Amino acid sequence: MSKLSGLALLALSGMVLAWIAWRRRSLTWFIRAGAIVFGLAMAIAGWWYLRNWLLYGDLTGLRAMFKVVGRRQGKPINFQSLWGEFRGLRWSFWALFGWFSILLPTSAYHALDGVTLLALIGLVVWLARDGGKSRALIPLAVLGLWLVMTFVSLVRWTSLTPGTQGRLLFPAIGAIVILLVRGLSGLAPLRWRRVIIAAWCAALLALATWCPVGVIRPAYARPAAITEADIPAHLPRLDHDYWGGKIRLLACEFDRQIVHPGETVSITLYWQALQPIDDDALLYITLLGREWELAGSLNSYPGWGTYPTSLWRPGEILRDRYQVTISPDARAPTLCRIDVGLTTLKRATGMATNDDDSPVVFEGQFKLVPRQWPMVEGQHTDFRLGDQISLIGYMVDKEMATPASELHLTLYWQAGGALDTSYTVFVHLLDATGQRISGWDNPPLGGDYPTSAWDAGEVITDEYVIPVPAHTLPGEYIIAVGVYNAKTGERLPVTLADGQQVPERWIILQTVRIEGQ
């Protein structure tokens, strides 16, 4: 990537040389200096462009690379996904190790963000106060232009393929450091400037010294050998066997039960070797979200490769920790399920199996919730179902339909508190006699976020598609909604805003007219 960024640097170098030559009024100097700069660049990187052309018919070699790594898919871009990528860019610029899997403490990134923000403010203050009078303005402007050109190149690159990595800013790291120092100096009184810059450099030196021993070494430490008594008692026992009973997953632990898209969750696996193992297993951890969409994944070796399974001793119990980042685009709310598997390059799958050889789908789950709960769009309502569920709004896409068409309904539920029961929602299209002609009986969000996972204040957007049967006669029909316990069949009582209860224990949302085709 530095070779491609170097093309932009050649353009900037040409602009600077042209400006200097104009001041000197010397075309000869421009040609001589340009030949030196361009010649050195070609001596260093020219062979790479020539090789690409000879092998692929493409100077940059990007077409061949895209065939391997793929292009960025056309997913909708929103603020959340952009912010997640920008955060990854900042973090990986400062410090990120392994295959983007070993991070500093979050507080360290926040501190670095804070210093960067102070430097930007200081740069603005300096420009407003002294910039016009300073001889440093033009060199700093050139550095700023180089940083902008590098960032634009990065944006173009990441628009083509997923790769928003801080290392792609390294060609401009000299400009970044000088601008940061200038900005920090701009906020400090003259007598304190050297002290502040020295303290900043000392802090970076201390961080760089600490990372190998405080971050990298612990991350690659062998999994701790423990006894069964060391497994937290509150964890449910899994006892999932792999590879014909040679390896057993005893339990799975999360560092927290509520996570937001874009965040990182720490997962601890408790393994036990039951028999001698000949192969060195590959580990995969897959997080599945709404409608079994991929919410996050990790592929590694047990113990990050520090303790291969061929060395495990029968009876040994290991505590194995990993960090998995949730996709910023993961849909929430949902229960996020974890699938853990062991495989080798020779095996198609190493997924755990039950006694009947059916695959185990997941080994645990946690809540994945949005940072901000949605607002009601459409009709606002005030219906209470039982003690802890309210229907606060709904939206139907149309009031008139035809046979063999569909009605799209969105319900807005609000939880008044935690619930112990997973209730079922019924959405029925009824004729004038109360007979059901169509509808659904499903847990909210198709079971991805059952009511037993709800907490006080949460607003759940629950969407349904109601088919209108082809044989439906013209006339007026009603959409009825309610909630019941699937185990007992008992509906939750429906209470209106004025305190009256609905005898049928359902909510009549609105009338829909079906017209003949």
Cα–Cα distance measured from residue 379 to residue 346, given in angstroms and rounded to the nearest whole number: 57
Phi and psi at residue 370, to the nearest 5°: -70, 160
Band (218; pLDDT cuts 50, 70, 90): confident
**Residue carrying the six token digits 């450099």:** 201
Sign of CA pseudo-dihedral 229, 231, 237, 243: negative
pLDDT number for residue 131:
66
- Max mean pLDDT among 60-74, 82-96, 108-122, 179-193 falls in 108-122
DSSP 471: T
Task: Kindly report, residue by residue over 151-170, the tens digit of the pLDDT.
Answer: 888 887 777 777 678 888 88
Alpha helix (H) residue ranges in 356-470: none
Altogether, the residues listed in the chain come to a count of 517
pLDDT number for residue 441:
95
Better-predicted residue by pLDDT, 220 or 363 = 220
Write out the two tokens for 244.
Answer: 């014909």
**Residue carrying the six token digits 């303290």:** 199
Q: What percent of the chain has pLDDT over 70?
A: 92
**Omega of the bond leading into 333 within 30 degrees of 0 (cis):** yes
Identical fold at 224-368 and 379-514?
A: yes
Which amino acid, 464? Answer: Y
pLDDT number for residue 78:
64
- Which CATH entry fits the domain spanning 379-514: 2.60.40.10, 1.10.10.10, 2.60.40.770, 3.10.129.10? 2.60.40.770
Cα–Cα distance measured from residue 452 to residue 443, given in angstroms and rounded to the nearest whole number: 10
Task: Kindly report, residue by residue over 315-374, the tens digit of the pLDDT.
Answer: 999 999 998 999 999 999 999 999 998 887 655 444 444 444 445 546 678 999 999 999
pLDDT number for residue 74:
61
The domain ranges of the chain are 71-217, 224-368, 379-514
Reported CATH class of domain 224-368: mainly beta
Burial label for 138, CB within 10 Å (0-12, 13-18, 19+), is exposed
- Residues 100 and 92: beta-carbon distance below 8 Å: yes
- Indicate the angle between helix axes 106-129 and 79-94, nearest 10 degrees: 90
pLDDT number for residue 307:
92
Region of 497 (left: φ > 0; alpha: ψ -120 to 50; beta: rest) is alpha
Task: For residues 217-222, give the mean pLDDT.
Answer: 85
What pairing do the DSSP bridges indicate for beta strands 424-430 and 436-442? Answer: antiparallel
3-state secondary structure of 316: coil
- Indicate the angle between helix axes 137-160 and 173-187, nearest 10 degrees: 130
DSSP 351: B
Find the range with the poorest average confidence among 121-130, 248-257, 272-281, 323-332.
Answer: 121-130
Write out the two tokens for 173.
Answer: 């790291």
- Residues 227 and 317: beta-carbon distance below 8 Å: yes
Looking at the whole model, is its pTM more than 0.85?
no
pLDDT number for residue 357:
46
What pairing do the DSSP bridges indicate for beta strands 258-259 and 364-368? Answer: parallel
Q: Which of 159, 162, 205, 200 is nearest to 182 (CA)?
A: 200
